[in-house]
Amino acid sequence: MSEDLDHWKHALEAQRRQKDWYFKNAPDSPIPAEARSGFSALQYFAPDPAYRIAVRLTPVTGAEPFTMAVSQGSPRAMIKKGYFDFEIDGKKYRLFAYGPAHDTSHDSLFVPFRDGTSGKETYGAGRYLDLEYDPGGEYLLDFNLAYNPYCAYSENYSCPLPPAENWLKVPIRAGERSFH
């Protein structure tokens, strides 16, 4: 393994350990308090550099706000910021990136998605990626960072559901696995 990949893998594993510690110990952990004593760590796919994909954001111009469904409670007003075209195993895919409709800043992009593992190996409602906005439009879709929404751990949370346009048929075996 090259030095860069070795560093990336160790950094990812350290980030996962830190998240596990937070979920077990923090007072505001999404893991219900009564379940924390039996909690040791989240389940993850092994780090895989094949799921780190350099992409370019294609902005969506003139996008209108839309209502993104949520697991419970009030839907959220969102807007399409752009999309990423990429390949996995030689096949082309597209994921849209969103932001809150009321927020005109470009601080981050929200990429909710479902894939061929959803409901089997990963949380059925989908997983998320958060990307810091890059004014140059260059991004790294690192599916190793895909995480479950808090509603995967407790019914006390309301979580955005990935729109059908972000349902991928390909299995993405990277990032967090199912909690239960």
pLDDT attached to residue 46: 97
pLDDT attached to residue 73: 86
CB 120, CB 114: distance < 8 Å:
no
> For residue 168, what is the enclosing H or E element?
none
Copy the structure tokens of residue 8: 């990336």
- pLDDT single digits (tens) 131-145: 998 989 999 999 999
State the 10-residue block means of pLDDT for the chain, 180 residues long. 84 97 96 93 97 96 92 90 96 96 79 97 97 94 97 93 97 94
Q: What is the pTM of this model?
A: 0.93
pLDDT attached to residue 74: 87
Share of the chain above pLDDT 90, in %: 86
Q: What is the DSSP letter of 148?
A: -
pLDDT attached to residue 104: 65
d(CA 71, CA 117): 19
pLDDT attached to residue 101: 86
129-136 long-range contacts (CB < 8 A, ≥24 apart) are 131/97, 132/107, 132/108, 133/106, 133/107, 133/108, 133/109, 134/57, 135/106
84 C-beta neighbours (distance < 10 Å), count: 22
What separation, in Å, do the N-terminal and C-terminal C-alpha atoms of the chain show? Answer: 32
CA atoms within 13 A on the CB side of 130: 7
